[in-house]
Amino acid sequence: THKSLSPIKLDWQSLPGLPARAPDSHKGSHGHVLVLGGASGMGGASALCAWAAYRAGAGLVSVGCHPDSRMHLAAWVPEALSLDWPGTLSSWSRPGVVIAIGPGMGQGLGAQTLLEEAVALSVPQVLDADALNLLAIRGPGLLAAGPVRLLTPHPGEAARLLGLDTRSVQADRPAAVLNLARRYRAICILKGHQTLISDGERVRQCELGNPGMASGGTGDVLTGILAALLAQQLAPWDAACLGVCLHARAGDLAAERLGQTSLMARDLIEFLPTAFKDYA
Ligand code: APR
Ligand code: MG
């Protein structure tokens, strides 16, 4: 089989970025990320996502999680607001809100209801982890046309979404990311070594990052970064490309200082400010 296309490599330093903050801006000017996840025993995933969203500039971050996770969340990320789920989401359909759904969400009944409610809102959405696993079961019909959506599968999740095995996805990653974007009418980010991004027309490749990032929770950090960039009104395609590169650059900076072996998800959050500074 031939390779369907060769993606263009991203020159991350020349990607369009966030505008400078107006001197009189306030937290309401920089968007509100709503993280939906954190089922019982998996609160850490939503905490990493929320923490990363703040580090990536979101004005406010709220987390909808299982009651078991709320006390932990308050200790891990005191800046975040928390609410119980499942609860009704209708009040979140307002300008400035971006939903990040999936980290640590689980696939139980509550999670299914939550996903249905979230994708019905008109605000931008980042779907990750168990949101993608549930979407794979429901199929593209779950995503009615409308809001901007970013999908962030790792190869295993991509395989479920495409009805393939992981090996086939990895055998032609550019084709997989393009097909995902078309089938689900979303910007798709296929993670792993040399992450690919597609909107169904273009395919771009991020050359940054390292295998030290193969460690639990690093994907949750990416989800938070992407949601924060969208919440700050960056164009969706630019948010996807810049978010992937900042995350990977933070991973390279962290690996330089700490080594690939010791690198863990929280280190990406710690090095994100330096990644932002290098970029500017
Ligand atoms: N080189 C560069 N980057 C890498 C490499 C590598 N070799 N390996 C992993 N990464 C990056 C990926 O590109 C991605 O950004 O690390 C991140 C890993 O994300 P996930 O695979 O989603 O891992 P994780 O955060 O642990 O996921 C948490 O969600 O997706 C589910 O099954 C997953 O339950 C788990 C949970
Ligand atoms: Mg993941």
pLDDT digits (tens, 9 = 90+) for 167-191: 999 999 999 999 999 999 999 999 9
* Partners of residue 126 on adjacent β-strands: 100, 150
Element (H, E) at 62: strand 60-65
Domain 28-279: give its CATH architecture.
Answer: 3-Layer(aba) Sandwich (3.40)
Ligand nearest to the CA of 156: 1
Ligand nearest to the CA of 219: 1
The reply to whether ligand 1 has any atom less than 6 angstroms from the CB of 209 is: yes
- The pLDDT of residue 86 is 65
The span from the CA of 274 to the CA of 256, in Å, is 13
- The pLDDT of residue 176 is 98
- The pLDDT of residue 1 is 46
* Partners of residue 168 on adjacent β-strands: none
- The pLDDT of residue 280 is 72
Task: Record the tokens describing residue 262, joined without a space.
Answer: 């010791």
- The pLDDT of residue 87 is 72
Task: Record the tokens describing residue 154, joined without a space.
Answer: 């790792």
Tell me: the pLDDT tens digits for 8-32? 999 998 999 898 899 999 988 999 9
- The pLDDT of residue 118 is 96
Pick out the chain residues at pLDDT < 70: 1-4, 86
Task: Record the tokens describing residue 270, joined without a space.
Answer: 């710690």
Contact 224, 49 (CB under 8 A): yes
Nearest CA to ligand 1 atom 15: 219
In the chain, what are the domain boundaries? 28-279
- Out of 169, 213, 226, 268, mutate this one to test ligand 1's pocket (max ligand atoms within 8 Å of CB): namely 213
Task: Record the tokens describing residue 137, joined without a space.
Answer: 């079961």
